[in-house]
Chains A and B, each alone.
Chain A
Amino acid sequence: MGKPRVAIFDFACCEGCQLQIVNLEEDILGLLGLVQPVEWREALSDRSDEYDIAIVEGSITRAEDEERLRGIRKRAKLLIALGACATIGGVNKLKNACDMEDVRRYVYGRAAAMPHLATEPTRALDEVVKVDYKIHGCPVSRRELGAVVRSLAMGVEPVIPNYPVCVECKLRETVCRYEYNEVCLGVVTRGGCNAPCPAGGGWCYGCRGLVDDPNVNAARDVMDKYGRTPADLQRRLALFNSPGAVSCPKS
């Protein structure tokens, strides 16, 4: 059996998750022994419509992008959503709290009606096509990315963690952000990133989305212990998970 052919595509996003492939540094050379990249616009000039695995970054905000994604889905045996914009819509979904005409006017002023500036509410990839695997995060963890690609190349089902970020902070012995009087989303957010944000002096922003079955009671206990309310969590969650929680001011 030949090496699986991999193609990498992107839609509305910052392309920071593709950058994590480059950030594998020397390890990329190892991955090249397992898979054959046939299209990756950001790094290679090669093009191909024949691929086994499509790795897709970004979210869908226009009809033309939806059509392009459907084409990719049709050609790919497996489709992997890469990063928060692709898996959950990411920060791009903050836009969905706003009126689409208003965001166009706010950014483009008098030119807003020009047809090439059209936009629709942001959708994650699985709101448009079937997604086989999701690599979460903003950006993705390059370690997890490498592990998923290696698993698939060897025909092994990749394991996507389903425990909260708090588990990883405890393992790293990171002081809880609530001890600094800050609101952190680690209590309900899917781990697997090794909790770099609380360790780096921020809080968990929830970029990997919620665990499948968040322990709401435990989260409530944490809120009670530190004098916080679910509304504090909701405000933070808006960034990556539930834009309905904020309202966008009209310009």
Chain B
Amino acid sequence: MSKILNVDVHHITRVEGHGNIRLRAVDGIVEKIEWQVPEAPRFFEAMVRGRSFEEVQTVMCRICGICSFAHSLAALKAVEKAVGIEVSDQTDRLRILAYGGEQLESHVLHVAYLVAPDLAGVNSVIPLVSSHPDVVAAAIRAHRLGNEWMEMLGGRRTHPVSFRPGGFGRWPSEGELRDLKARLEAVVPDLQKIADTVAALAHKLPRFERETEYVALSQPGVYTFYHGLIASTDSPERTPVEHFERVANEYVVGQSTAKWTRWHRETYAVGALSRFKLNSAFLHPLAARTARALGLDPSCCNPYMNSVAQVVEAVEVVEAGLEQIDILLTRGLRPEPLRKLHPKSGEGAGAVEAPRGILFHRYAFDAAGLCTEANVTIPTGQNHANIQKDFEALAPQILGRGEAEARLMLEMLVRAYDPCISCSTH
């Protein structure tokens, strides 16, 4: 009689959005292995057409509830480029500072609430509240700080309102920045506690390596989330964001309502591990030490380690935020009332590193400042094909482990990418 292994996960849990996993193997031969995305597409690129350049970021941040700051800022960068708006150094620094809050909030949410239950062998974070009270309390404090950091600079913690073309509708006071500085200093021990716990549990992450192409923004001397050129581990060339379509090469497949992408080879990966591989030389000292303590080095090709790279980045954004606040306070904050903006026809692209990886927006406007064209390429969209290739490499290695363990390893692999599936089917 043949030995059959079936894994059928309908709507994988503890991820953002709807994804399915299908594995079927007969007598040790994989017949089918698929990462499917059945999420309802929302058609943001089509429906933002006709909206004014002054409200594009307000519409487009709603692509994603977890990375709305990333979408808002990528949209603003593209809009400002298209309409010819220059922003001040102070605005640029305040945006970069604000954006650190989203990385912290999102990474803590992912590592502590979504991934940690797998490492502890439970269904959710709820049992951890009683089994690991100290580290859960630390995670809640760090998560709350990420949120309040975003709220202080973005006006709200989800779908920011303070970011406007040309600057800020409301900018913080020096007192608020000093308060944020004190709170960032105070969160460091919490992040260390989280890092220590992850270090103690890291041996439970599957040992699976599959080298692929890794893509991230790159900026000399900076572990960047905001500025830079598009870099790849497959090429020494750096591509300007203006040409992002040459990187993403989006295409449609039958197993997914989200588009897939490919660049130098069949698939590529984006996210914390890609950023770490390309930019780890520029980490701040404590983040670099955290990486060493967690056994993460730039040669790592284990996708499960993306969550570990997120822990390193949580420390990095706090250190970088402290540095940014010092610069802003030393120079002194000055009021920057918004200028009256005039519509203009034009076209432009913008990119940021969302918590889940590089994110691209492009818009064109007519002379009345109304949007005529839009194109958005999402980090998770860029990871879908890579998850499929990881599945194809992983599946033959786990056939002997039984359904429950095979299922867990496949689910954990998807979770490691921290997918934002509804984002990818914008």
Contact = CB atoms under 8 A, between A and B. Distances in A.
B62 interface: yes
B113 A108 contact: no
B422 A13 contact: yes
A139 B14 contact: no
Contacts of B164: 201-202
Nearest to B169: A201
Interface in B156-171: 156-162, 164, 168-171
Interface residues of A, number: 63
A15 interface: yes
A13 to B, nearest CB: 7
A34 to B, nearest CB: 14
B124 A139 contact: no
A14 B423 contact: yes
Given A201-B168, A202-B169, A46 B422 contact: no
Interface residues of B, number: 63
Contacts of B168: 201
Interface in B108-130: 109, 113-114, 117, 123-126, 129
B147 interface: yes
Interface in B12-46: 13-18, 38, 40-43, 45-46
Nearest to A102: B46
A135 to B, nearest CB: 14
A26 B251 CA distance: 43
B14 to A, nearest CB: 6
B162 A202 contact: yes
A45 B9 CA distance: 11
B68 A16 contact: yes
Residue among B42, B51, B123, B144 with max Cβ neighbours from chain A (10 Å): B42
Contacts of B17: 15
A15 B48 CA distance: 19
Given A116-B254, A239-B58, A29 B129 contact: yes
A13 B113 CA distance: 21
A43 B254 contact: no
A248 B49 contact: yes
Question: What is the interface of chain B mostly: helix, strand, loop, or mixed?
Answer: loop
Contacts of B42: 12-13, 61, 92, 95
Given A42-B15, A43-B113, A202-B58, A16 B159 contact: yes
Among A58, A94, A102, the most chain B Cβ lie within 10 Å of the Cβ of A94
A201 B155 contact: yes
B64 A16 contact: yes
A200 B170 contact: yes
Given A119-B41, A196-B155, A202-B162, A95 B65 contact: no
A65 B369 CA distance: 36
B143 interface: yes
B13 A107 contact: no
A20 interface: yes
Contacts of B51: 94, 239, 246
A197 B46 CA distance: 26
Interface in A1-26: 10-20, 22-23, 25-26
B14 A14 contact: no
A22 B126 contact: no
Contact of B59 (A107, A239, A248): A239
B252 interface: yes
5 contacts: A13-B42, A18-B65, A25-B143, A201-B164, A251-B46
Q: Which 9 A-B pairs have the closest CB atoms?
A: A16-B65, A200-B155, A201-B169, A201-B170, A202-B161, A111-B252, A103-B46, A94-B47, A44-B124
Interface of B: 11, 13-18, 38, 40-43, 45-51, 55, 58-59, 62-66, 68, 109, 113-114, 117, 123-126, 129, 140, 143-144, 147, 154-162, 164, 168-171, 251-252, 254, 257, 259, 372, 422-423
Interface of A: 10-20, 22-23, 25-26, 29, 32, 37, 41-47, 58, 61-62, 65, 90-92, 94-95, 97-98, 102-104, 106-109, 111, 114, 116-117, 119, 138-139, 196-197, 199-202, 205, 239, 246-249, 251
